[in-house]
Every structure is written in C-alpha cells, then in structure tokens.
Homo-oligomer: A and B are copies of this chain.
Amino acid sequence: MSARKIAVLGASGYTGADAVRLLARHPHVQIAALTANTHAGKAVSDVFPHFFPLDLAMLTAWEEVDWAALDAVFCGLPHGTTQEIIAAVLKANPLIRVLDMSADFRLRDQAAYAQWYGHEHRAAELQEEAVYGLTELYRQQITAARLVACPGCYPTAVLLALVPLVKAGLVDAHDLVIDAKSGVTGAGRGLKQKTLFSEAGEGLSPYSIARHRHTAEIDQEISVAAGKAVTVNFTPHLIPMARGELCTCYVRLDGAGVDDLRAALEEAYRGEPFVHVAQKAVVPQTQNVRGSNYVQIGVFDDRIKGRAIVIATLDNLVKGSAGQAIQNMNLMFGWPETTGLEQIALFP
C-alpha cells in the first residue's frame, strides 16, 4: 500500500506537534507538508527541538501548500481562522479529507456558534456538512465524512462518560455537575501570563467558570442523547501538570444504581479499543493515560442517596485532540482504527 500524503496545519502549536509526533511513526502516511505561518521557512526542530530525530519538511505558510497532491489534512489552527482556511482547502481539492482539531465546526447550531464564539460562522455550508468526530459515538458518519470536527478535549471525556447514561435514562440530564481538571497544555502554546511556569506551578485555579466554550459542545451532545434541551454545569480547573485531564461528574440517578451505570458503560464500550471502563474500586487517574489514546472511566457511589459519581480521564493532546483525529483518519481510509495509536501511557 503506498502511503497517503498528509499535511499538518498549525505545526507550531501543541496539538499540531502531537499530530506530527504520532503521524511521523504512522505506517501508512507520509507527512508531505507542515505549515506555521509565523514560522514559515524555519525547520520544525527550530520550533519543536524534540523533533531532532525526524527528517521533516520545512515549515511553510498554508497558502503555499499544493492541496491537489494531498489525501488528508490535519488542522491545528486557532478557532476563528480555521473555517476560512478549510473552505479554501476544500475548494482547491474537494476530495481531500479534513481532520479539524479546532472548534470551528463542532457546533451544529449557527446561533449557538455565534453566541459562544462572538461572530457569525463564515463557512456555514461546511458547518452543516461537518461530522462531530467523537469516534465512539459517530463512527459510521465519520467513516463516510469529508470534514470531521474533532471534539474538544473536555467534551471527549465528558461525553464518553455521560452519553450512554443519559441515553439509557439512567441519570437526570438536568442535574449534571461536571468538575473538570486539566493540565496546562490545554491552554495552548500562546504566551499568557497565567500559563507561565511561575504562575501555574505549585497551585491550582478554577477558570472560565460557567462560561468555558467547551460547554456548548457538551450541551449539544447531551441534549441529543437526552432528546431534550439540556444545560450542564461545567467548571474547569487549571492543574500544575502539562498533559492530562480528568472530569469528575456528579449525577442524580433516575432509579438506577451504581452497578447499572457501570453495566451500561461496559455495554456501550464493549470491543472499543480505546475506551476502558474500570472495574469496581479502580480509580481513574491521568497518569494512566499520559501520552496515549486511551480513556479510562470509573463509576462510584456517592454518599448522598440517589446520586453517583462518574470519572473519566484522558490525555488532552491525544484522545482529546491529535490522537482522536488520527483515529478518525484511520476510519476514513479503512485502516485498523488503532493504527499508529497503540502507545501505552508514559508512566512515570
């Protein structure tokens, strides 16, 4: 099988870099182009020195890429700019497959997009075409898609934990409290005071309380699962670690017990290569998934009667971003879904 040619847009950011890390060792792809407009002309190892062992193409501006020569493109650009670039790419090569890791095509509702992102969507017809790329929930649609909007890291964890429970009517969709914790890479590589080592280290802080943009995706997909409009609590916290994310979800039971919840999740993810439901009393922790595409979900009794706790953890840059994008690419090209993604967590 000759290799598929791919490009990574935004190769100077963390999600772009993690895509490169994994794609460089993927047996069926060839990285044909890497873009980073502010660093065009540099070697990748100038912006990410850990790539010194790789022989990679120079960074270019995205406008210089020959889209006709490519089979797929991974897009790790900031939201807002992405939609116009992807529109241009698909115009240049309508057959190319697009794995978008930005937020631009995740929300199906144009009004919701405008409300959360502060401007009208600039590629509305593509937004309609885009498939929400949470592999385990939309596998069939992804396989057939041209444009996949890979979910945010938080929504991936939360939805994998809660959608089967909401769908089965086991929990009250109107009382979902999600206390989320993320490592600092979740905030990207841009220069912000709050993500300096001296600020984020040795301490933790809640942020974007009741207004984090990932909430919109969670609302959207939980509402689909519930069959009614749902508003969730979603409260993220910045944790002094680079990678990893853990969501502690507090749910109200609709008559069910904790074992019912675990059974429903086990049923939902039977045979899934990357989503594991932990046995009773095994506690998910971010250390278990660092650098890997795996998700670990656990279910626990709450001391308050009629309540339960569901905990999910993943690596925000892998299953929460670049890894899931590759998983989707594997589906789209008919390769085993796990190709290039079987690295075990790096612990310690």
Stretch at the interface among A69-77, A91-99, A139-147, A227-235: A227-235
A193 to B239, CA, bound (A): 19
At the interface, yes or no: A50 with Cβ under 8 Å from chain B?
yes
Decide: A234 near B204, CB < 8 A? Known: A50-B347, A242-B348, A291-B291. Answer: no
At the interface, yes or no: A170 with Cβ under 8 Å from chain B?
no
Pick from B54, B237, B241, B307: contact of A240, CB under 8 Å? B241
Q: Which of A275-310 contact B (CB under 8 A)?
A: 276, 278, 282-292, 294, 296, 300-305, 307, 309
At the interface, yes or no: A24 with Cβ under 8 Å from chain B?
yes
At the interface, yes or no: A67 with Cβ under 8 Å from chain B?
no
Find chain B residues with CB under 8 A from A241 CB.
201-204, 240
Beta-carbon contact of B347 and A206 below 8 Å? no
At the interface, yes or no: A63 with Cβ under 8 Å from chain B?
no
Beta-carbon contact of B189 and A192 below 8 Å? no
How far in angstroms is the closest Cβ of chain B from A110?
21
Beta-carbon contact of B21 and A344 below 8 Å? yes
Stretch at the interface among A112-120, A179-187, A261-269: A179-187
Find chain B residues with CB under 8 A from A200 CB.
197
How far in angstroms is the closest Cβ of chain B from A26?
11
Count residues on chain A whose CB falls below 8 Å from chain B CBs.
88
How far in angstroms is the closest Cβ of chain B from A39?
12
A13 to B23, CA, bound (A): 31
A40 to B279, CA, bound (A): 20
Beta-carbon contact of A189 and B193 below 8 Å? yes
At the interface, yes or no: A53 with Cβ under 8 Å from chain B?
yes
Decide: A286 near B205, CB < 8 A? Known: A174-B304, A177-B250. Answer: yes
How far in angstroms is the closest Cβ of chain B from A66?
26
Ordered by A's residue number, 15 sampled pairs between the chains whose C-beta atoms are within 8 Å are: A49-B282, A53-B292, A181-B237, A191-B196, A195-B196, A202-B202, A202-B287, A203-B241, A205-B246, A206-B284, A209-B309, A210-B301, A232-B304, A235-B248, A237-B246
Known: A191-B196, A205-B283, A242-B348. 8 other contacts (CB 8 A): A179-B248, A189-B193, A201-B348, A202-B202, A204-B239, A206-B311, A233-B303, A291-B291
Please report A residues at the B interface, Cβ cutoff 8 Å. 14, 17, 21, 24-25, 48-54, 174-177, 179, 181, 183-185, 189, 191-193, 195-207, 209-210, 215, 231-235, 237, 239-244, 246, 248, 250, 274, 276, 278, 282-292, 294, 296, 300-305, 307, 309, 311, 342-348
